[in-house]
Amino acid sequence: MSRTRKKGFIRYENTRDERVSTLSRNLLTFSFKDLDETQPKNNPQSLTSWNEGNLLETFLKRLRELSKLTRDEAIKQQQIKIYGDFPVNTDFYHPKHVDNNVAWSVIKAVGGQKGVVAGYIVESTFYIVFLDQNHKFWVSKKKHT
């Protein structure tokens, strides 16, 4: 800023240099824009129900830890699993507001062994679509039973 003759101030725009981070890693980010809190039909799960069930805080801590990783690191560490197509054997249905050609994925083990968060991943953003406390998004046969 500088003074003018009229006893006012003039601010010069764009005179500040932007600082560029030396880290060039594309860390994971998360979006709730496609969150569907109406499923599964017989037991809809929402942020409110996860809060009441004491899962929301654990979930948010999990997202904070995952946000320190890149997509590849999270997949390599098996913290995120990419399935691809929407599952056939599931208690959920494909929401109309989500494109049919996304890579469906889950964030594993939220609040214990069963809880997962299902969604899809595009580049380094995980779009959260379903909260799945009972692991009914991708139902698989039990092993060793």
Q: Is residue 17 predicted with pLDDT exceeding 80?
A: no
Assigned domain for 52 exists: yes
Q: How far is 21 from 34, CA to CA, in rounded Å?
A: 30
Please check the confidence at residue 32 and state whether its pLDDT lies above 60: yes
Which of 1-10, 102-111, 127-136 is the least confident region?
Answer: 1-10
Task: Determine, yes or no, domain membership for 17.
Answer: no
Whether 71 maps to a domain, the answer reads: yes
Q: How far is CA 119 from the centre of its chain?
A: 7
DSSP E strands, the chain: 2-3, 9-10, 29-31, 80-84, 104-107, 116-122, 125-132
Residue 141 resides in a domain = no
Domain for residue 43, yes or no? Answer: yes
Which tens digits make up the pLDDT trace of 3-14?
556 666 666 666
Number of domains in the chain: 1
Condensed to tens digits (0 to 9), the pLDDT of residues 107-122 reads 987 766 667 899 999 9
Is 1 within the bounds of a domain? Answer: no
Whether the predicted pLDDT of 21 surpasses 70: no
Domain hosting residue 60, numbered range: 26-132
